[in-house]
Amino acid sequence: MKNMIKMHQLIGDFAENKEVAKKLREEIILPSLSEGNEVILDFEGVEGATQSFIHALVSEPIRLLRNDALERLYYKNTNDNVQSIISVVYRYMQESLAI
């Protein structure tokens, strides 16, 4: 099963609100991944994001579920800025967890 999250509807043009990130992480991302589902984060219309937002969104799923999270989390319609930030968080999380 796939769960799609339309990020722009929740965070607007610029993804910085960590309260929203926390809610998404706790209510959708972690439960879905834990049940073996895929999660697709659709960033259409989002022009940028902070490292803090992406960290709050996905670092805990990666820390808890390791490869299961890395394999089943997808990012759709990301521009270069958002891709860069997500890549930064992926790199340092895997580096720090030695995945």
Binding site for other proteins (CB under 8 A): 11-14, 16-19, 22, 47-48, 50-53, 55-56, 59-60, 63, 80-81, 83-85, 87-89, 91-93, 95-98
**Minimum distance, C-beta of residue 83 to other proteins, in the bound complex (Å):** 8
Cα distances (angstroms) measured from residue 32 to each of 51, 56, 66: 23, 17, 14
Record the tokens describing residue 32, joined without a space: 């879905």
- Which residue do the tokens 């937002």 mark? 53
- Asked if 5 and 24 touch (Cβ cutoff 8 Å), the reply is yes
Q: Which is nearer to other proteins, 17 or 77 (CB)?
A: 17
If the CB atoms of residues 39 and 89 are measured against other proteins, the closer one turns out to be 89
Q: Shortest gap between Cβ of 37 and other proteins (angstroms)?
A: 21
Alpha-carbon gap, residue 56 to 33, rounded angstroms: 16
Minimum distance between the CB of residue 59 and other proteins, rounded to whole angstroms? Answer: 7
